[in-house]
Structure 1
Amino acid sequence: MSSFRTRLTLILIAMIGLAVLAAGLFMGKTYRDNHLEALQDNMVREMRIILDEMDWKQGSPDELYDYYTNEAKHLKDITDTRITFIRSDGVVLGDSDHDPRTMDNHSTRKEVLEAKQDGIGRTTRYSDTIKQNLLYVAMKVKPDDPNSDIIRLALSLEKADESVKRIWVALLLGLVVLFALAALISYRVARGLTRPLEQITKVSKRIKNLDYRARVAVKSNDEIGELGQAINAMAEGLQVQMTRIHQNEQQLASVLDNMINGVVMIDAGGKIVLLNRMAEEVLGFSARELVGQHYASAKQQYELSQIIQEALERREHLRDEVTFYFPEERLLDLNLVPIFEDNEHNGEFGGVLLVLQDVTAIRRLERMRSEFVANVSHELKTPVTAVKGFAETLLGGAVDDPELARSFLQIIYDESDRLNRLIGDILELSKIESRRVPLQFSPIELSPFVYKTIELMSAEAVRKQIRVTARVEPGLYVEADEDRLRQIVMNLLANGIAYTSEGGSVSITVEPVHDPNLSFDDEGQENYEHIRIHISDTGMGIPKKDLPRIFERFYRVDKARSRSSGGTGLGLSIVKHLVELHKGTITVESRVGIGSTFTIELPVLQ
Structure 2
Amino acid sequence: MKKYRTRLTLILILLIGTSMLIAGIWMATGFERTHIKELKLNLERELKILAIQEWNHSGDQESLITYYNGLVLKLEKYTGARLTYVRSDGTVLGDSDHDPHLMDNHLNREEISVALKGETGFAIRFSDTLHQNMLYAAIPILAEDGKISGVLRIGMSLAQVEASVRDFWVYVLAGMFALFGIVSFASYRIAKSITKPIEKMTRVAKQIAVHNYTTRVPVVHHDEVGQLAEAINQMSESLRSQMNQISKNEGRLNSILENMLLGIMMIDVDGKIVVVNPITETLLGFTASELVGKKYNEGMQFLPFIEQIELCKQQMNLVRDELALHYPNERLVEISVTPIGYNGEEWGGFLIVLHDITELRKLERLRSEFVANVSHELKTPIASVKGFAETLLAGALYDEETARSFIQIIYSESDRLNRLVGDILELSKIESKRSPLRLSPVHLNALVDNSIQMVAKAARQKQITLEFDAKEALYLEADEDRLQQILMNLLSNGINYTPDGGKITLTAEAFITEQIEHTDEQDWIRITVQDTGRGIPKEDLPRIFERFYRVDKARSRSSGGTGLGLSIVKHLVELHHGSINVESEVGMGTRFIIVLPVIQL
Which of 549, 558, 578 is residue 543 of structure 2 equivalent to? 549
Q: Once the 2 structures are TM-superposed, how far is the Cα of residue 405 of structure 1 from its aligned partner? A: 1.9
Structure 2 CA distance for partners of 1:253 and 1:476, relative to 1, 3 Å? closer
**Structure 2 residue 411 is the aligned partner of structure 1 residue 410:** no
Q: In structure 2, how many angstroms separate the alpha carbons of the residues matched to 1:261 and 1:318?
A: 16
Contact 1:539 1:595 (8 Å CA) reproduced? yes
Structure 2 CA distance for partners of 1:588 and 1:412, relative to 1, 3 Å? same
Structure 2 CA distance for partners of 1:411 and 1:226, relative to 1, 3 Å? closer
Structure 2 CA distance for partners of 1:255 and 1:495, relative to 1, 3 Å? closer
1:453 counterpart residue number = 451
Which of 432, 435, 438 is residue 434 of structure 1 equivalent to? 432
1:263 counterpart residue number = 264
Structure 2 CA distance for partners of 1:195 and 1:509, relative to 1, 3 Å? farther
1:91 counterpart residue number = none
Structure 2 CA distance for partners of 1:441 and 1:282, relative to 1, 3 Å? same
2:208 counterpart residue number = 207
Q: In structure 2, how many angstroms separate the alpha carbons of the residues matched to 1:394 and 1:549?
A: 41
Letter in 1 for 2:320: R
Letter in 2 for 1:300: Q
Structure 2 CA distance for partners of 1:288 and 1:454, relative to 1, 3 Å? same
Q: In structure 1, how many angstroms separate the alpha carbons of the residues matched to 2:522 and 2:275?
A: 50
Alignment of 1:92-491 (within 5 A): 199-200=200-201, 202-219=203-220, 231-232=232-233, 235=236, 238=239, 260-276=261-277, 278-285=279-286, 287=288, 289-295=290-296, 300=301, 302-312=303-313, 315-326=316-327, 328-342=329-343, 346-491=344-489
Structure 2 CA distance for partners of 1:301 and 1:512, relative to 1, 3 Å? farther
Q: In structure 2, how many angstroms separate the alpha carbons of the residues matched to 1:223 and 1:231?
A: 12
Q: In structure 1, how many angstroms separate the alpha carbons of the residues matched to 2:269 and 2:296?
A: 11
Contact 2:513 2:524 (8 Å CA) reproduced? no
Contact 1:285 1:298 (8 Å CA) reproduced? no
Q: In structure 2, how many angstroms separate the alpha carbons of the residues matched to 1:193 and 1:454?
A: 99
SS of alignment partner, residue 491 of structure 1: helix
Which of 584, 588, 593 is residue 594 of structure 1 equivalent to? 588
2:530 counterpart residue number = 536
Structure 2 CA distance for partners of 1:232 and 1:400, relative to 1, 3 Å? closer
Q: Once the 2 structures are TM-superposed, how far is the Cα of residue 314 of structure 1 from its aligned partner? A: 5.1
2:79 counterpart residue number = none
Structure 2 CA distance for partners of 1:238 and 1:463, relative to 1, 3 Å? closer
SS of alignment partner, residue 324 of structure 2: strand
CA RMSD of aligned residues (A): 3.5
Letter in 1 for 2:355: Q
Contact 1:321 1:331 (8 Å CA) reproduced? yes
Comparing 258-267 with 454-463, greater Cα deviation is found at 258-267
Q: In structure 2, how many angstroms separate the alpha carbons of the residues matched to 1:493 and 1:233?
A: 78
How many pairs are equivalent?
408
Q: In structure 2, how many angstroms separate the alpha carbons of the residues matched to 1:279 and 1:501?
A: 52
SS of alignment partner, residue 539 of structure 1: coil
Structure 2 CA distance for partners of 1:492 and 1:215, relative to 1, 3 Å? same
Q: In structure 1, how many angstroms separate the alpha carbons of the residues matched to 2:289 and 2:220?
A: 45
Contact 2:514 2:522 (8 Å CA) reproduced? no
Structure 2 CA distance for partners of 1:209 and 1:282, relative to 1, 3 Å? farther
Letter in 2 for 1:319: R
Q: Once the 2 structures are TM-superposed, how far is the Cα of residue 548 of structure 1 from its aligned partner? A: 0.8
Q: Once the 2 structures are TM-superposed, how far is the Cα of residue 246 of structure 1 from its aligned partner? A: 5.8
Which of 579, 588, 600 is residue 585 of structure 1 equivalent to? 579
Q: In structure 2, how many angstroms separate the alpha carbons of the residues matched to 1:239 and 1:480?
A: 55
Q: In structure 2, how many angstroms separate the alpha carbons of the residues matched to 1:248 and 1:529?
A: 44
SS of alignment partner, residue 436 of structure 1: coil
Letter in 2 for 1:291: V
Q: In structure 1, how many angstroms separate the alpha carbons of the residues matched to 2:490 and 2:321?
A: 45
**TM-score with structure 2 setting the length:** 0.61
Contact 1:340 1:347 (8 Å CA) reproduced? no
Q: Once the 2 structures are TM-superposed, how far is the Cα of residue 557 of structure 1 from its aligned partner? A: 0.6
SS of alignment partner, residue 545 of structure 1: helix
Q: Deviation digits for residues 541-592 of structure 1, max 9, x if unmatched?
A: 0111111111111111100000010000000011111111111110000001
Contact 1:491 1:571 (8 Å CA) reproduced? yes
Structure 2 CA distance for partners of 1:241 and 1:410, relative to 1, 3 Å? closer
1:605 counterpart residue number = 599
Alignment of 1:512-531 (within 5 A): 512-515=510-513, 529-531=523-525
Comparing 199-208 with 499-508, greater Cα deviation is found at 199-208
Structure 2 CA distance for partners of 1:541 and 1:352, relative to 1, 3 Å? same
Contact 1:290 1:298 (8 Å CA) reproduced? no
Q: In structure 2, how many angstroms separate the alpha carbons of the residues matched to 1:259 and 1:516?
A: 30
Structure 2 CA distance for partners of 1:557 and 1:309, relative to 1, 3 Å? same
Structure 2 CA distance for partners of 1:194 and 1:291, relative to 1, 3 Å? farther
Q: Deviation digits for residues 110-169 of structure 1, max 9, x if unmatched?
A: xxxxxxxxxxxxxxxxxxxxxxxxxxxxxxxxxxxxxxxxxxxxxxxxxxxxxxxxxxxx
Unaligned runs of 5+ in 1: 6-190, 518-526
Q: Once the 2 structures are TM-superposed, how far is the Cα of residue 490 of structure 1 from its aligned partner? A: 1.2
Contact 1:268 1:312 (8 Å CA) reproduced? no
Q: Once the 2 structures are TM-superposed, how far is the Cα of residue 353 of structure 1 from its aligned partner? A: 1.8
Structure 2 CA distance for partners of 1:261 and 1:196, relative to 1, 3 Å? same
Structure 2 CA distance for partners of 1:210 and 1:297, relative to 1, 3 Å? farther
Q: In structure 2, how many angstroms separate the alpha carbons of the residues matched to 1:298 and 1:217?
A: 56
Structure 2 CA distance for partners of 1:277 and 1:385, relative to 1, 3 Å? same
Comparing 481-490 with 231-240, greater Cα deviation is found at 231-240
Q: Percent identity, aligned pairs only?
A: 56
Q: In structure 1, how many angstroms separate the alpha carbons of the residues matched to 2:568 and 2:441?
A: 22
SS of alignment partner, residue 356 of structure 1: strand
Q: Once the 2 structures are TM-superposed, how far is the Cα of residue 468 of structure 1 from its aligned partner? A: 1.2
Q: Deviation digits for residues 457-477 of structure 1, max 9, x if unmatched?
A: 111111101111111112222
Letter in 2 for 1:555: Y
Q: In structure 2, how many angstroms separate the alpha carbons of the residues matched to 1:457 and 1:513?
A: 28
Q: In structure 2, how many angstroms separate the alpha carbons of the residues matched to 1:604 and 1:259?
A: 35
Structure 2 CA distance for partners of 1:210 and 1:444, relative to 1, 3 Å? same
Letter in 1 for 2:552: D
Letter in 1 for 2:269: A
2:490 counterpart residue number = 492
1:568 counterpart residue number = 562
Structure 2 CA distance for partners of 1:255 and 1:587, relative to 1, 3 Å? closer
Q: Deviation digits for residues 262-290 of structure 1, max 9, x if unmatched?
A: 33221232111233455455445555553
Structure 2 CA distance for partners of 1:233 and 1:554, relative to 1, 3 Å? closer
Q: In structure 2, how many angstroms separate the alpha carbons of the residues matched to 1:291 and 1:301?
A: 12
Q: Deviation digits for residues 235-255 of structure 1, max 9, x if unmatched?
A: 466557657766765676676
Q: In structure 1, how many angstroms separate the alpha carbons of the residues matched to 2:280 and 2:514?
A: 43
Q: In structure 2, how many angstroms separate the alpha carbons of the residues matched to 1:512 and 1:297?
A: 57
Comparing 574-583 with 324-333, greater Cα deviation is found at 324-333
Q: In structure 2, how many angstroms separate the alpha carbons of the residues matched to 1:321 and 1:486?
A: 45
Structure 2 CA distance for partners of 1:409 and 1:534, relative to 1, 3 Å? same
Contact 1:272 1:293 (8 Å CA) reproduced? yes
**Structure 2 residue 506 is the aligned partner of structure 1 residue 508:** yes
Structure 2 CA distance for partners of 1:236 and 1:399, relative to 1, 3 Å? closer
Q: Once the 2 structures are TM-superposed, how far is the Cα of residue 294 of structure 1 from its aligned partner? A: 2.2
